[in-house]
Amino acid sequence: MPPPLTASPALLAELRQTMERVSSKRRRREVLPFGIASVDVALPSGGLALGAVHEISESGVRGAQAAVAPLFAAGILARIGGPVLWCLHSRDLFAPALARVGLHPDRVIYCETWKDSQILPAMEDGLRHRGLAGVVGELVRLPLTPSRRLQLAAEDSGVVALVIRRSSQHLEETNAAFSRWRVSPSPSAANQPLELGRARWNVELLRCRGAEPHSWLLEACNAKGRLSVPADVRDGSRPAEEQERASA
């Protein structure tokens, strides 16, 4: 009888890195750190992988409206330089809100695709252009085959693809997206009981290649697209620079 397997953390990490090297065509995947230690440490290579497909959904009855997910996506893109292609599902996106989280209107090219069947090829075209910072698509469904196509296109060019799910159904379908996130609003804490403070989001990493699911309570993106850890929650996890910004 063989001895029971004992997984030492070091060995596991090494294995993960090997797998990462083997599975990815690129020599090393570039990542975009969130700048929050507790988030980055839970992600492979310490940040959001560029050149990959990330799925963002919203929980609750109004998941189909996806009112917070575009802000989460815009916050990510605000921190990458270059133009952005945004494939629309309906006419309800309000651009001034994206500008408020740091995504300047000059950077965004919108295309009225309306249907998944038009959004997917448009996204793929965008992902093949290396000059883009990222491609956003508001999809109702993301089945396996299209997601694989998007993932391959993203890996080739290194452009990040963010899929905002406009549906409260079929969210659990398996697909080839690199990671799956869920963002939902959470009550904000304000010093005075009736004052509207900075919004808070419950950010959940439901699934990610090479990482464990995790969730965080974070403050919404600021004007530079950065999320931050609320002052009254898990103080110790906040890096020094964040504290300086909050006090400034």
Partner 1 sequence: MVTLVQDGNRRLIATVDDAARRQNLRPGMTAAHAQSLIPDLVLIDATPDEDEAALTELALWCTRYSPLVTPDPPAGVFIDIAGSSHLFKGEAAVMSDLCARLEAARFSARVAVADTPGCAWAVARFGRQDIVPPGKMSDVLGPLPVAALRLPAHTVESLADVGIERIAQLASKPRASLQTRFGGDLLLRFDQALGTATEALVSLQPPEVPFVTFAFAEPIGDPADLQRIIVRLCRMLADALETRGIGARRLDLVFQRVDNIAQAVRIGTSRPTRDAKHLGKLLSERLVLVDPGFGIERATLTASWVEALSERQTIGRHVADDESDADLGMLVDTLRTRLGPGRVYRLAPVESDIPERAVERVAPVAPPKGLSWPDDLPRPARLLSPPELVNAIAQVPDAPPAFFVWRKNRHRVIKADGPERILGEWWVSDKDIGLQRDYYRVECADGERFWLFRDAPAHAGGRWWLHGLGEA
Tally the C-alpha atoms within 13 A of residue 96's C-alpha that lie toward its C-beta: 0
DSSP state, 228?
B
Kindly tell me which of 153 and 176 has the beta carbon lying closer to partner 1: 153
- The burial class, CB within 10 Å (0-12 / 13-18 / 19+), for 64 is middle
We find the least distance from the C-beta atom of residue 85 to partner 1, in angstroms, to be 7
Handedness of CA 214, 219, 225, 226 (dihedral sign): negative
Kindly tell me which of 76 and 208 has the beta carbon lying closer to partner 1: 76
We find the least distance from the C-beta atom of residue 200 to partner 1, in angstroms, to be 6
We find the least distance from the C-beta atom of residue 7 to partner 1, in angstroms, to be 38
We find the least distance from the C-beta atom of residue 44 to partner 1, in angstroms, to be 27
Kindly tell me which of 45 and 118 has the beta carbon lying closer to partner 1: 118
Residues in the site for partner 1, rule: CB under 8 A?
60-62, 65-68, 70-71, 75, 82-83, 85, 91-101, 104-106, 108-113, 118, 121-122, 125-126, 129-132, 184-188, 190, 193-196, 199-200, 202, 220-221, 223
Q: List the alpha helices (DSSP H) in 106-206.
A: 116-127, 144-157
We find the least distance from the C-beta atom of residue 169 to partner 1, in angstroms, to be 17
Tell how strand 84-88 and strand 53-58 pair up.
unpaired
Residue 237 CB neighbours (<10 A):
14
We find the least distance from the C-beta atom of residue 18 to partner 1, in angstroms, to be 32
Residue 182 near residue 204, CB atoms below 8 Å? yes
Kindly tell me which of 105 and 213 has the beta carbon lying closer to partner 1: 105
Kindly tell me which of 120 and 176 has the beta carbon lying closer to partner 1: 120
Taking alpha carbons only, the member of 83, 73, 133 closest to residue 110 is: 83
Rounded Cα distance between 195 and 188, Å, is 10
Rounded Cα distance between 18 and 64, Å, is 38
Kindly tell me which of 164 and 176 has the beta carbon lying closer to partner 1: 164
